[in-house]
């Protein structure tokens, strides 16, 4: 009788652990989504810098627009990945799009103040490198990592997710 109780408790614990890991998998950031966010963060940084420099009388818009045109397929692809990540969390319709918009807006806001940001001349160099890079996800990811684009907290990444079960 006691063995049945232990087995039943083990089955319930395993079931709960499975549900917990499924819930975590639906909400944490898988590596491919983290990378998509890093590329999106890089593109957003360039956009915000272009706008900020324009206010200062330095026009980088031609360089930025050339970047967006030449890398459009990659940029569209990472945006699609990010939208799919929010839909994959079980959010439906407008809720998923709203969550995506909040995330992208938070990235832009993080670059908005310009405090500690490179100068307009340095951004010109970054844009020149971005325009010279191949139109590939891996090339843009390398550039994003080089400038420190990392909008997803470590604690939100799936690799760091652990489940602790009480004895």
pLDDT tens-digit series, residues 147-162: 999 999 999 999 654 4
C-alpha 5 chain-centroid distance:
45
Q: Are 125 and 59 in contact (CB under 8 A)?
A: no
Q: Given pLDDT bands bounded at 50, 70 and 90, which one contains residue 163?
A: very low
Report how far residue 19's alpha carbon sits from residue 151's, in angstroms, rounded to the nearest whole number: 28
Predicted confidence at residue 18, as pLDDT, reads 39
For the chain, the domains span: 1-29+153-167, 31-151
Q: What is the pLDDT of residues 29-61, one digit of tens each?
A: 999 999 999 999 999 999 999 999 999 999 999
Kindly report the number of other CB atoms within 10 A of residue 137's CB atom. Answer: 19
CB atoms within 10 A of CB 51: 15
What average pLDDT does the structure give for the chain? 82
Instruction: Decide: 64 and 128 in contact? Cβ < 8 Å.
Output: no
What is the share, in percent, of the chain residues with pLDDT greater than 90?
63
In terms of pLDDT, which residue wins out, 27 or 69? 69
More reliable by pLDDT, 56 or 10? 56
Residue with tokens 């997803």: 152
26 pLDDT band, cuts 50/70/90, is low
Q: Which of 72, 76, 79 is nearest to 130 (CA)?
A: 72
Q: Helices then strands (H, E): number in the chain? A: 7, 0
State pLDDT tens for residues 98-142: 989 999 999 999 888 777 788 999 999 999 999 999 999 999 999
CA distance 83 to 78: 9
């Amino acid at each position: 009788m006691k063995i049945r109780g232990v087995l039943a408790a083990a089955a319930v614990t395993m079931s709960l652990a499975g549900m917990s890991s499924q819930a975590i998998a639906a909400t944490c950031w898988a590596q491919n989504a983290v990378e998509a966010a890093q590329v999106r963060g890089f593109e957003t940084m360039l956009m915000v810098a272009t706008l900020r420099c324009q206010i200062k009388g330095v026009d980088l818009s031609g360089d930025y627009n050339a970047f967006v045109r030449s890398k459009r397929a990659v940029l569209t692809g990472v945006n699609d990945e990010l939208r799919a990540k929010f839909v994959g969390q079980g959010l439906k319709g407008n809720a998923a799009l709203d969550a995506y918009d909040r995330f992208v807006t938070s990235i832009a806001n993080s670059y908005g103040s310009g405090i500690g940001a490179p100068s307009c001349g340095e951004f010109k160099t970054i844009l020149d490198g971005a325009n010279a890079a191949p139109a590939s996800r891996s090339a843009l990811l390398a550039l994003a990592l080089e400038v420190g684009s990392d909008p997803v907290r470590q604690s939100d990444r799936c690799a760091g997710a652990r489940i602790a079960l009480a004895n």
